[in-house]
Each structure stands twice: as C-alpha cells, then as structure tokens.
Structure 1
C-alpha cells in the first residue's frame, strides 16, 4: 500500500505519516492519498469515514460520479494510467472524498496526472480542496487529450491508405481504433457529467476560480466525447468501405478466373477431341499437324478474348 499524506498550513507544506495526518487537529488543509492494488481491500480501516463513503472509495468497480454527502462530495474520475499494463484498462479510477479542509483519495493504480498534482501540492500551490480538485480534473483531461487526438490521426492514415487501395492489414487497425474509442468514451462522457454535477453543488470550499477551471476541464471532456463519437462513426464507415473493397476485389478476381476458364474451355474440348486414341483423326500423320493445332487453339483463344472485350467484360 502506497500512501501520501501532507498538510498545507499557513503557506507551508509538510509531509506527514498516515498516522500523523489522521490525528492532525490543526486548521490546515490535509490530503491523504491511498494507493493499493489489493482486491480484498474493502475498508480503509483506521480512517474514520461514513460507511457509504468508505464503500464508494474502495469499490472494486466504479464509474465517474459526483454525489453530495452531508457537507462533502464523493467524486470518482477516470484518467490514463501512469504505466499501462496488458491486463489493465486504458483508464484507471481515482476516488475522492472532499470536505472543507480535507481530501481523502484512493486508487488501485497510479494515475498519470497524480505526480503533477502531488508536486503542485508540495510546492504550496494548492491551498484548499477546490484547488486540488480543479487541478486534478484539468491534468486528467490534459493527459487524455493526446490519446484521443492520436486515434483521430490514426484513422486519417487509414483513410489515406484506402485512397491508394492499400487495404491489407487495415481491418485490424480500424477495429483496434474503434475499440479504443469505445473504451475511452465509456468513461470520458461520465467524467464530464461528474464534473458538471460538482460545479452545480455550490460547496463553500469551491471558489469561483476553481469552478472556472473545472468547467474548462468539463468542456475539454465534452469535446473529447464528441471527437470519440466521431472516431467511432468514422471507423464504422471505413470498415464498411473495406468490406466493399474486399468484395469488389474478390468479384474482380473471380471474373478473371472465369474468363481464363472460359477461354480454355473450348481449347480443352479441341485438344481432348484430337487426343483420342482412335483411327481417323485428321492430319494425324502430317508433320505440321501439331503446330497447326497450336495455331488453331491460339486463334480460338483470341476470338473468345475479343468477344469478352466487345462485351466490355474486361473493364474494371
């Protein structure tokens, strides 16, 4: 279990142990962050919290949300992980219990935005819970924005490849982009809704400047949600185009095979007829007969090919 505990008091920041922070009786702003990947952790033990709050902080599965409890707020957000592993989602959750003068946060993996927020707290830039929440929301949205833009850029590359008809391998790429967009949007839109709900609660510890910063992050989340929806729709359209192109290629190749088979059908009949081991085959004992048959077969093939050309069956 990785803990971070510190207090901002009269312009100075001090890191404390978990025990020291839990027994702190001053008037400063305290922040306790707990990080544990233990799936059996269902309570915060020595941290005195209402049962509903403790359950919300340590729930195994969470979605972004914001709920008022007494004079505090339960805030769950999702952001990119600091280090993504193969067995985890793109986005990890951070759960916060925010009150006047105190923030308790919990996560099962390190959030990508957490080191920046922690550093800002240690520099004394976060003087109250509103500052911390607004900075966290902004950093989460800024961390996520390049990933969403990268999905759109990747689809641009796929569309360029379609123009050159270089479709091999694109189906898997488009499917991966679409899956990532769906995964992102699953939590980006609720992040927006949770922050929007927070600004409407009018807590006294949420200053007007903090509300502006949170709304800025909310707008960024809203824009990302719209872009992810566009990426998903574009991916579906590209997938349809790929399916049409593959069908067209199969039809075209099937046509070529049919043309070749049709050309060789009369030639096979001629050679089969002349190759019978019976008496009476014309010109069987003439030295020029073989080349005569070859020339006749070539002529028949050219006639059939010309007929296909006249019917415009050879055009793409």
Structure 2
C-alpha cells in the first residue's frame, strides 16, 4: 500500500491578515495554504490534483517531472520556481543534488520533492512553531533561503578536504593522491553543474520579487543570491586549486620516473662493457686464455671491478650523478 503523497500542509495568512496561527491543515484546503508533496509516490498526481484543483495539468507535470534543472518561470499571475539543493540525506553523496519544485499564485503555494529536502522540513517546523501566520511570500523566500543556507557546511567540508590533500602533497605526491584528486574534482564539477543555473534562477527570482514578493523579501533574496555567488566562487577556486594540484602531482610523478630511469641508464652504462667482457670470456671456443690457470677467474673478476669503478668515477666527474 503506497503512502500518502502529501507530506504536510500549513495554513497561510490571506490578504486580510486574519491572524490565524500556522498549523497542520485539516479538512478543506482550498484557502491560502502551503502544501508540500512527495511526488515520487504512485498516487502523487491524483492526490495533488484533488488537493489543489486550481492548478492546471502543465504545472502538475512540472512539479512531478523526474528530472529538472533550476529555473524560474512566470505565467501571468502564476510562478514556477525550480531549485536544486545539496543532498543532506544520510548515506547519500552531497553532490547528488535534490530538486525542490515550487508553484504559487500569490495565495496558494504548492511545493514538491522526489527525495527528502531538508529546506522544506526546516521551514515547516519553523512555521508550526511560530505565533504568527506566514504569507506565501515568506514560504517561497524561506524555501529558497534554506536551500542556499544548507550549502554552507558541505562546501566548507569540501574545502577542508582540499586543504588536507594539499598539505599531504607538500611532502611529495603519491600514487594514492591521484584517486583523491579525481574524487574531489568530480564532486566540484557536479556541484558547479547545478550552481550556475541555480544562481541564474535565484537572480531572476530576485528581480521578480520587487513586484511579486515585496521589498522585504527582495532584500532576503538579494542576500541569498550573494551567498550563492560566494559558494560558486569557492567552487571555482576549488576547481583551480585541484587543477594546480593535479599538474603538480603529474610533475612530481614525472620527475620521480625520470630520476629512476636516469639511474637505470647509469647502471646500464656501467654494466654494458662488463656484460661484453663476461660474454666474451664465456664463449666455448678453443684458445681461450687462462683456461688452465686456477687464478684466471679472479683476475677477470678483479678486472671487471676495476673497469666498473673507473666508469663510475668517470660518470661522476662528468656530472652524470
């Protein structure tokens, strides 16, 4: 049996300011209200249509879409806001961002999620605890601000990971650092993928807010947009730092490989003539000198040692090592 798609419903203040407290809605819900749905439930469309008959099918399609990108659309007196937030759900990757879809006609607010969005849960708890009823503007701006505020801690933790990796690489890059670098770059790129369109969407919402939401909420959106811009700048800086660390790691690994190949070349240069001598004295033909002499082996061995030492001294004087 499937669960209900409606997660919570909170009464809002209408234009006459009735002074009703924010509370969980019961009974009729066709008055000023905020409805929040889990549209991943099989019955979500039917339940949404029943609870909000004033919303048309095209808006329901947008709220229930499986994949979305951040954007803001205006339809006469209706508005559609789609946001992306960092995934704070347990055992999930923060960069696997969650989507929050919001529709409003200035009186009703319908929001939807396919996975839990902490921004909506946080705002619902706040509205239920306050002594004053909320307006639709407060819900829309509150959801947007919460989505952006929830980005601060994960991004700070990501920057700390980059700092730690940079400190580890000061003493020299290691092969395992390559995996860490790739993982961090992947996280940064995934976050930036949605942060750019999200900033554009919040910027457009901020511009519309002057006439739609009022000056008070415009200032809050302006501050939230500035915070989002700062987060994006941090990600840009993180991307550049990781790129530099990647280049530094490649340089260190290349230098280490070249040094090892250089030492092998010196060893090969020393033992090449020795290999020639031992090969020459190892041929099985008549007339080999010292075949009958019991000390010939030691003479050959000593000669090879002298030649090796002489070559090493020559390479050293020549500055090879």
Question: Which residue number in structure 2 is paired with residue 208 of structure 1?
Answer: 215
Aligned pairs for 1:36-47 (under 5 A) are 36-38=39-41, 44-46=48-50, 47=52
The answer to whether the Cα contact below 8 Å between 2:70 and 2:198 also exists between their aligned partners in 1 is yes
**Among 34, 38, 45, which residue is 1:31 paired with?**
34
**Among 4, 8, 14, which residue is 2:8 paired with?**
4
The answer to whether the Cα contact below 8 Å between 2:10 and 2:34 also exists between their aligned partners in 1 is yes
Question: Which residue number in structure 1 is paired with residue 296 of structure 2?
Answer: 289
Cα separation, 2, equivalents of 1:126 and 1:264: 89
Counterparts in 2 of 1:161 and 1:308: CA distance versus 1, 3 Å:
farther
Give deviations 1:115-138, integer Å, cap 9, x for gaps. Answer: 211101111366112222222222
Cα separation, 2, equivalents of 1:39 and 1:231: 41
- Structure 1 position 2, deviation (Å): 4.6
Cα separation, 1, equivalents of 2:153 and 2:77: 36
**Among 234, 238, 252, which residue is 1:245 paired with?**
252
SS at match of 1:105: strand
Give deviations 1:161-220, integer Å, cap 9, x for gaps. Answer: 332113221112111111111111111222222122112124666232222211111111
Question: Which residue number in structure 1 is paired with residue 87 of structure 2?
Answer: 81
Aligned pairs for 1:74-223 (under 5 A) are 74-83=80-89, 90-124=96-130, 127-202=134-209, 206-223=213-230
Give deviations 1:145-166, integer Å, cap 9, x for gaps. Answer: 2222223222222322332113
The answer to whether the Cα contact below 8 Å between 2:148 and 2:227 also exists between their aligned partners in 1 is yes
Cα separation, 1, equivalents of 2:253 and 2:42: 46
The answer to whether the Cα contact below 8 Å between 1:72 and 1:99 also exists between their aligned partners in 2 is yes
Q: What RMSD, in angstroms, separates the aligned Cα atoms of the two structures?
A: 2.5
SS at match of 1:113: helix
The answer to whether the Cα contact below 8 Å between 1:5 and 1:16 also exists between their aligned partners in 2 is yes
Of the structure 1 ranges 229-238 and 204-213, higher mean CA displacement relative to structure 2 is found in 204-213
Q: Which runs of 5+ in 1 are unaligned?
A: none
Matched, 1:224 2:231: yes
TM-score (ref. length: structure 2) = 0.86
**Among 251, 262, 265, which residue is 2:269 paired with?**
262
Cα separation, 2, equivalents of 1:96 and 1:80: 17
Cα separation, 1, equivalents of 2:116 and 2:192: 21
Q: Which runs of 5+ in 2 are unaligned?
A: 14-18
The answer to whether the Cα contact below 8 Å between 2:68 and 2:82 also exists between their aligned partners in 1 is yes
Counterparts in 2 of 1:82 and 1:162: CA distance versus 1, 3 Å:
closer
- Structure 1 position 91, deviation (Å): 0.7
Of the structure 1 ranges 179-188 and 242-251, higher mean CA displacement relative to structure 2 is found in 242-251
Counterparts in 2 of 1:303 and 1:172: CA distance versus 1, 3 Å:
same
- Structure 1 position 84, deviation (Å): 5.4
Of the structure 1 ranges 195-204 and 259-268, higher mean CA displacement relative to structure 2 is found in 195-204
**Among 235, 241, 264, which residue is 1:234 paired with?**
241
Cα separation, 2, equivalents of 1:129 and 1:253: 68
